[in-house]
C-alpha cells in the first residue's frame, strides 16, 4: 500500500487502524489530523479500508484544518453546555477561517467569550478522545429527545447515523474528528452574532459564537497579528474613513454611495463601457420591474423566488417583481425581430440596477448587497461559435485584469443536482468551457455540482491581500446556457434558411461595480491608483498670502480634467499634509512664497517624497498621461 504524507511517499502492508499504519512507516502522530482514502476522510482510529493508497493530512492541508476546526466546534458546544446547561444545540460547522456553533436559549455577548474560552481550554487539557458511536435512528431519537433542533436534522438522515463523544459530551455528527481535544493548543473566540435557524428569518433566532483554534500558540499569535493587518484592509472601515459610502437601517443591504465613492463607481462603469464598446457589445437599458410571468418562463421563478423582491401595484391583483438579473430581458430583445446567423455573435451589455433579497446574515458591506449594478452581458451565438466566443471574453478579461494587476484563478463549476435542460445539452456546454480554457492554456480546477441551474460556468477568482487562494474573491463569470433561448422560443435563421435556437453565454468581468470597488479598496488599503482616486490632487496654500496663486493652480488643474481640492483652512501646514495623507490623496501640492514667486509648485506623493520647483504645465501633462493610461500609481 502506498502512503502519502506531505511530499513523502512510503510503502506498508499494515492493515489495522490508520494510527498503526502511520506508526509502521515512522510518521510522527502528533502532526496527524485525518486520513484520506479515495477522496473520503476517515478518523485516524478507524480501520484501514481496502485501497492502494492512503494520504495523511495535517493542519497545513485545507481539509485537515476543517476537521481540526470542526472538532473545536464540538469543544465550544461542550463548554457552553457546561456553563449554560439549558441551551439547545444547533449546528457547528467549520468555515473558511475557524468555526461557529449556533445555540438556542443562550443570552451572551462578546464580554462572555473569555469565560467560555477558558472552559474550552480546560476541555483541551482534559485530552478527551473523540469516539465515534454508530446508532440506529430510534436510538438516536431517544438520545435527542430534548434537542428539538437536532431531532429536525435527524429526520433528514437515513442510515449511518453517528454521534461523536469526547468526555461526557455527545453530539450528532458524521465526523471525522481529531484524535483528542488535547491536540488543540490555542483557542480564540472572536465574536457573538445572531442567526436564524437554517437561515430562515421566519424560524427561531439563534445565538452564534465564532471562534478559531490552532495546534500551537505561535500559530494563534501569528493569526492575531494577521487580524490587526486585516483591519487595515477592511473595505467597510476604509469606506467610512474616506467618506465613500454608508449603510442605513432604512434600506438594509443597500449602500448609499457618497460623492467621493460615486467617482470611483463611475470610473469603473466608464472602464466597463469602454471595453464593452471595444469588444463590440451593444449596450441596452431594460426595465426595473416586470410581471413574474417573465421569470416563470425563464425558470428563475421556481429556483430563485426566495431571492426576489415582489412588487404589488396599488388596487391591482397583478404580481410584478424587481429584476434580479438581466438575461430574460435580453432574450426578449433578441426575439423582438427576425434574426439572421449573419448577426451572430450578437452581444448585449446592460448596467441596469438589480435587486436580490440576500439574507441579513449574508450581507457584507459592498461585497454582498441587495441592490447592485454589474457589467452584465449576454452573447447570442451559434453552437459552433461557443468556444471562440468564450476565448474572446477571456481576452477582454485579461486586458481588464492587467489594469489592476489582478491574477485570475479559474474554476469550472459543473452541473448541479437541481437543474433544467437535458444531460446531452449539459455535456456540450461543459465540454465547450473545458475546450476553450485548454485552447488558451489557462490552468483551472473543477468544482463539481456548483454550476447555475441553467448551465455550467467558469468562475474567476482574484487573490485578496493575503495572497491565499482559500480567501480569494469571486469576481467574474462566464456561463454557457443552452436552455434560456429555448424556453423563450427565441430563434434565428441559419445558413440553411431554417430556424435555429441560439446558445446564450452569460458574462460579467468586473462582477458588480460595488463589489469590485470593495475588493480594490481592500487590496490597496484605500490607496487607489491615480485614475481611480476621487481626489487626485490636494492643494495646500501655506498661508493666506498664497491663496490667490493656489486658486490659479486649482483652476488650471480643474480645467484639464484633474479632480482637485484646495484646503484653504487656517490649520497648520503639518495638519493639512496629515489630513491629505489620511484621505489617501495621490499628490499633495504645497504652495508657499517661493512657489508663488517662481510660478512653480512643490509636489508631495503618497510615499512622502517631495519634488520642488515643479513646472505646473509639465505636472499637468504627466498627470494626464498617467490617468489616460490608467497607470497603477
β-partners of residue 205 are 196
The yes-or-no answer on residue 70 being catalytic is: no
Q: Spell out the SS3 assignment of 246-270.
A: ECCCCCCCCCEECHHHHHHHHHHHH
CA distances, 49 to each of 40, 44, 245, 573 (Å): 11, 12, 56, 74
The yes-or-no answer on residue 339 being catalytic is: no
Radius of gyration of the chain (CA): 29
CA distances, 399 to each of 197, 275, 406, 477, 632 (Å): 44, 9, 10, 15, 14
* Rounded distance between C-alpha atoms, residue 72 and residue 390, angstroms: 44
Q: What is the dihedral sign for C-alpha 381, 387, 388, 389?
A: positive
Q: Which of 70, 457, 515, 576 is catalytic?
A: 457
* Rounded distance between C-alpha atoms, residue 342 and residue 205, angstroms: 57
The yes-or-no answer on residue 459 being catalytic is: no
The yes-or-no answer on residue 376 being catalytic is: yes
Question: Hey, what's the cell of 620?
Answer: 499637468
Q: Which of 373, 374, 385, 479 is catalytic?
A: 374
Question: Hey, what's the cell of 142?
Answer: 431517544
What's the length of the chain? Answer: 633
CA-nearest of 349, 379, 369 to 286 is: 349
Q: Which of 66, 356, 515, 584 is catalytic?
A: 356
The yes-or-no answer on residue 378 being catalytic is: yes
The yes-or-no answer on residue 356 being catalytic is: yes
Question: Hey, what's the cell of 213?
Answer: 483554534
Question: Hey, what's the cell of 41?
Answer: 476522510
* H or E element at residue 55: strand 53-57
CA distances, 613 to each of 428, 446, 538, 592 (Å): 65, 57, 17, 11
Give the other-Cβ count within 10 Å of 75's Cβ: 30
* Rounded distance between C-alpha atoms, residue 106 and residue 92, angstroms: 15
* H or E element at residue 57: strand 53-57
Q: Cβ(203)–Cβ(197) under 8 Å?
A: yes
β-partners of residue 134 are 162
Instruction: Bin 497: left if φ > 0, else alpha if -120 < ψ < 50, else beta.
Output: left
Question: Hey, what's the cell of 155?
Answer: 429526520
Residue 450 burial (C-beta neighbours within 10 Å; 0-12, 13-18, 19+): middle
Q: Which of 74, 235, 378, 604 is catalytic?
A: 378
Q: What is the DSSP letter of 501?
A: P
Q: What is the DSSP letter of 421?
A: S
Q: What is the dihedral sign for C-alpha 148, 153, 156, 157?
A: negative
Q: What is the DSSP letter of 489?
A: T
CA-nearest of 39, 42, 25, 35 to 56 is: 35
* Rounded distance between C-alpha atoms, residue 329 and residue 258, angstroms: 30
* Rounded distance between C-alpha atoms, residue 442 and residue 65, angstroms: 29
The yes-or-no answer on residue 457 being catalytic is: yes
Q: Which of 78, 376, 459, 567 is catalytic?
A: 376
* Rounded distance between C-alpha atoms, residue 501 and residue 380, angstroms: 9
Non-local (6+) Cβ contacts of 621 within 8 A are: none
Q: Which of 36, 74, 81, 327 is catalytic?
A: 327
**What amino acid positions are annotated as catalytic residues?**
327, 356, 374, 376, 378, 457, 506
Amino acid at each position: 500500500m502506498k502512503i502519502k504524507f506531505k511530499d513523502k511517499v512510503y510503502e506498508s502492508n499494515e492493515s489495522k487502524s490508520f494510527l498503526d499504519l502511520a506508526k509502521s512507516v515512522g510518521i510522527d502522530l502528533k502532526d496527524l489530523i485525518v486520513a484520506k482514502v479515495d477522496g473520503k476522510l476517515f478518523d485516524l482510529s478507524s480501520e484501514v479500508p481496502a485501497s492502494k493508497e492512503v494520504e495523511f493530512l495535517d493542519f497545513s492541508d485545507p481539509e485537515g484544518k476543517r476537521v481540526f476546526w470542526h472538532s473545536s466546534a464540538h469543544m465550544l458546544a461542550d463548554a457552553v453546555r457546561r456553563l449554560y446547561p439549558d441551551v439547545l444545540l444547533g449546528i457547528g460547522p467549520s468555515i473558511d477561517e475557524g468555526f461557529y456553533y449556533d445555540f438556542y436559549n443562550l443570552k451572551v455577548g462578546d464580554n462572555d467569550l473569555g469565560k467560555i474560552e477558558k472552559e474550552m481550554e480546560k476541555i483541551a487539557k482534559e485530552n478527551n478522545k473523540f469516539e465515534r458511536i454508530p446508532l440506529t435512528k430510534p436510538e438516536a431519537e431517544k438520545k435527542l429527545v430534548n434537542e428539538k433542533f437536532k431531532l429536525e436534522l435527524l429526520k433528514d438522515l437515513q442510515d449511518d447515523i453517528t454521534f461523536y463523544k469526547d468526555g461526557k459530551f455527545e453530539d450528532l455528527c458524521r465526523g471525522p474528528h481529531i484524535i483528542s481535544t488535547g491536540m488543540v493548543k490555542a483557542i480564540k473566540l472572536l465574536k457573538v452574532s445572531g442567526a436564524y435557524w437554517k437561515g430562515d428569518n421566519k424560524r427561531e433566532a439563534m445565538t452564534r459564537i465564532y471562534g478559531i483554534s490552532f495546534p500551537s500558540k505561535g500559530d494563534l499569535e501569528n493569526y492575531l497579528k494577521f487580524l490587526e493587518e486585516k483591519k487595515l484592509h477592511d473595505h467597510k472601515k476604509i469606506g467610512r474613513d474616506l467618506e465613500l459610502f454608508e449603510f442605513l437601517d432604512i434600506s438594509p443591504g443597500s449602500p448609499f454611495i457618497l460623492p467621493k465613492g460615486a467617482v470611483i463607481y463611475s470610473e469603473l462603469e466608464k472602464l466597463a463601457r469602454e471595453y464593452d464598446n471595444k469588444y463590440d457589445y451593444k449596450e441596452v437599458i431594460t426595465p426595473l420591474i416586470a410581471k413574474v410571468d417573465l421569470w416563470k418562463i425563464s425558470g428563475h421563478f421556481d429556483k430563485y423566488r426566495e431571492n426576489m423582491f415582489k412588487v404589488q401595484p396599488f388596487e391591482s391583483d397583478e404580481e410584478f417583481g424587481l429584476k434580479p438579473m438581466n438575461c430574460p430581458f435580453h432574450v426578449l430583445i433578441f426575439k423582438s425581430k427576425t434574426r439572421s446567423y449573419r448577426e451572430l455573435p450578437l452581444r448585449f451589455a446592460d448596467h441596469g440596477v438589480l435587486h436580490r433579497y440576500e439574507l441579513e446574515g449574508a450581507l457584507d458591506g459592498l461585497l454582498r448587497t441587495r441592490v447592485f449594478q454589474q457589467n452584465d452581458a449576454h452573447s447570442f451565438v451559434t453552437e459552433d461559435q461557443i468556444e471562440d466566443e468564450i476565448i474572446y471574453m477571456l481576452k477582454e478579461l485579461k486586458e481588464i485584469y492587467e489594469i489592476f494587476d489582478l491574477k485570475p484563478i479559474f474554476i469550472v463549476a459543473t452541473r448541479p443536482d437541481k437543474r433544467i435542460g437535458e444531460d446531452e445539452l449539459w455535456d456540450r456546454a461543459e465540454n465547450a468551457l473545458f475546450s476553450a480554457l485548454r485552447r488558451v492554456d489557462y490552468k483551472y480546477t473543477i468544482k463539481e455540482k456548483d454550476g447555475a441551474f441553467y448551465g455550467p460556468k467558469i468562475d474567476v477568482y482574484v487573490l485578496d491581500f493575503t495572497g491565499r487562494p482559500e480567501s480569494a474573491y469571486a469576481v467574474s463569470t462566464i456561463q454557457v446556457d443552452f436552455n434560456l433561448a429555448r424556453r423563450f422560443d427565441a430563434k434565428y435563421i441559419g445558413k440553411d434558411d431554417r430556424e435555429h435556437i441560439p446558445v446564450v453565454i452569460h458574462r460579467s468581468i468586473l462582477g458588480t461595480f460595488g463589489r469590485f470597488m470593495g475588493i480594490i479598496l481592500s487590496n490597496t488599503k484605500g490607496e487607489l491608483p491615480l485614475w481611480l482616486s476621487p481626489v487626485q490632487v490636494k492643494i495646500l496654500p501655506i498661508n493666506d498670502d498664497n491663496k490667490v496663486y493656489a486658486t490659479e493652480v486649482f483652476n488650471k488643474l480643474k480645467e484639464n480634467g484633474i479632480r482637485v481640492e484646495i484646503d484653504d483652512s487656517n490649520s497648520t501646514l503639518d495638519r493639512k499634509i496629515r489630513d491629505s495623507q489620511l484621505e489617501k490623496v495621490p499628490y499633495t501640492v504645497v504652495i508657499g512664497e517661493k512657489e508663488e514667486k517662481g510660478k512653480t509648485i512643490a509636489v508631495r506623493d503618497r510615499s512622502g517624497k517631495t519634488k520642488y520647483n515643479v513646472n505646473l504645465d509639465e505636472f499637468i501633462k504627466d498627470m494626464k498621461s498617467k490617468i489616460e493610461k490608467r497607470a497603477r500609481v
